[in-house]
Amino acid sequence: MNTLFLLLASIIILIALLIIIFHRNPKRNIPKEGIVSPADGIVKRVISVEKGKDKSLFLPKGMLGGIRLLTEEFKGDISVIQIVMTVFDMHHQKAPLSGTIEEIKYSKGKFLNAVDQAEEAMFLNERNSILIKSGEGFYAKIVQVAGIFARRIHCRVKEGQSVDKGEELGFISFGSQVLLVLPSNMNVKISEGERVKAGETIIASN
């Protein structure tokens, strides 16, 4: 009986610790300059896409249409930064720059493993897109992507709302991924495999 009790107690404590880890929202040192990361995690891919065709993207057959749909609001060439989160990362998303929320678009989809099947998940999984227009007139798009366990995406901003850099945009339960879409004339300062922090790590500058 004591062994069973200890086992159950250990499981409950572990679950409680994981919940605390998932929901923590530490204060970040927000830099005055640059465009910051919208999420904690590891940069899985930095993708350059030409107008109408792809430069460096390797995807399963038929996925190229997905990236065109993902970036339909952008007229020129773009860069897509894919950030993969594990269950140990902070799961709140932050505004990468100050501006106005121009559009929020929720799309139903699958719940593929957003880490192990990262490339397929970025186009096929359930997601929520937040389009921000900066004060300088260019657009940035943040896409919250659900994962195999993360079946709830919380969006905490509204269309027409002004946001400051580093302000909270939303939350994804458990491990998943976040995409940041920027015009290609932005100077991307991070590399694939690099760990980034939401609201703190400078992703790009203009």
| Catalytic choice (10, 173, 176, 184) | 176
Distance CA 182, CA 188 (A): 9
Structure tokens at 14: 């572990």
Distance CA 117, CA 90 (A): 20
3-class DSSP state for residue 107? strand
Contact criterion met (CB below 8 Å) for 38 and 198: yes
Active site residue 176: yes
Residue 179 parent element (H or E): strand 177-183
* Residue bearing tokens 């998932």: 22
Distance CA 31, CA 8 (A): 44
List of residues 6+ apart from 191 with CB closer than 8 A: 43, 46
Q: What are the catalytic residues?
A: 176
